[in-house]
Amino acid sequence: MRVTALAGGFGGARFLAGVVAEGHEVTAVVNTGDDLWLHGLKVCPDLDTVMYTLGGGISAERGWGREGETFAVSGELAAYGFGPAWFGLGDRDLATHLIRTQLLEAGQSLTDVTAALCARWRPGVTLLPMTDDRVETHVVVDDPETGTRHAIHFQEWWVRHRAALPAHAIVPVGAEEAKPTPAVLQAISDAEIVLLPPSNPVVSIGTVLAVPGIRDALLAADARIVGVSPIVGGSPVRGMAAECLTAIGVETSAQGVAAHYGARSAGGLLDGWLVDSSDPCEVEGIAVGALPLLMTDLDATRAIVRAAIAL
């Protein structure tokens, strides 16, 4: 089946592994709002997490970055007093950013650069950045030292502060002026089914949807759109999604996220919504399915994928 999925990093990558294992032809439209320039290098955390996970290079322990990673360069940058120290820039990972930066500076699009990197990793999916334009998610917080309200890069909020600073707003800076790539629009219109993996509904899926044209393309698509809830037993499976949902006034529950995405019949996105067995959910116009949603291993993930497609 031709599957197009919107995706963030960790959850999206795991889910996509299940979709690939089920033998589908997959295109992943990946959030680039987490991207940042670090030491003059373009870093794309979500694209890389998906690429490394599906290509067999991910650190199984951390869920981001490379297996067998070393941090010699970071240690040296710190010795020079060049921050930020909070971003774990591994040596192996850095080679990816060096190549990406060079190719971008040579005038290639992020889409083409991603394809060039995937020529090594062979992730088994077509990996597409949501846009070739620059979008950077920022979070409005009160500075813990001074109390001043200001915006910081999403990565600084997420990695440095571990989302512990209350977020007054989460803004995908540049999204309004960004354009989805032709490849993204094509993948959505060509899809036989569109899946929303259990990625962060705000800073992953939400950022993809913030690129003008993507939501319209989804609404216009022939394919059904089925989402998989990122909530299990009332809390996010991984990390700090609750803080993001709170920031945009959405309840951290399968019901809350479903209502946020909305029923397609009522101008929203979802035809179907897969929730964990422990999270009852009912939204008018959305077909709801329930099963255990923890992606504990590939078999569990494949079962989730099958259930989502069956919906």
**Cα four-point dihedral sign 190, 195, 199, 204:** positive
Stretch that binds a copy of itself, among 101-109, 127-135, 163-171, 237-245 (CB under 8 A): 101-109
Q: Is 77 in the site for a copy of itself (CB under 8 A)?
A: yes
Residue 34 beta carbon to a copy of itself: minimum distance, rounded to whole angstroms: 21
Q: Is 62 in the site for a copy of itself (CB under 8 A)?
A: no
Considering beta carbons, is residue 75 or 233 the nearer one to a copy of itself?
75
Query: Rounded distance, CA 159 to CA 54, Å?
Result: 23
Of positions 1, 56, 67, 82, contacts a copy of itself by CB under 8 A:
82
Q: Exposed, middle or buried: residue 105 (CB in 10 Å: 0-12, 13-18, 19+)?
A: exposed
Q: Is 81 in the site for a copy of itself (CB under 8 A)?
A: yes
Of 32, 44, 159, 156, which is closest to residue 98 (Cα–Cα)?
Answer: 44
Tokens standing for 244? Answer: 């993001």
Q: Is 39 in the site for a copy of itself (CB under 8 A)?
A: yes
Of 309, 119, 120, 292, which is closest to residue 227 (Cα–Cα)?
Answer: 309
**Using an 8 Å Cβ cutoff, are 263 and 270 in contact?**
yes
Of positions 25, 63, 73, 292, contacts a copy of itself by CB under 8 A:
73
**Using an 8 Å Cβ cutoff, are 41 and 19 in contact?**
no
Please report, as residue ranges, which positions from 103 to 122 form the binding site for a copy of itself (by CB under 8 A): 105, 117, 120
Residue 79 beta carbon to a copy of itself: minimum distance, rounded to whole angstroms: 6
Q: Is 221 in the site for a copy of itself (CB under 8 A)?
A: no
Residue 40 beta carbon to a copy of itself: minimum distance, rounded to whole angstroms: 4
Q: How many CB atoms lie within 10 A of CB 41?
A: 17
Q: Is 72 in the site for a copy of itself (CB under 8 A)?
A: yes
Q: How many CB atoms lie within 10 A of CB 310?
A: 10
- Interface ranges with a copy of itself (CB under 8 A): 39-41, 70, 72-77, 79-82, 91-92, 94-96, 98-99, 101-102, 105, 117, 120
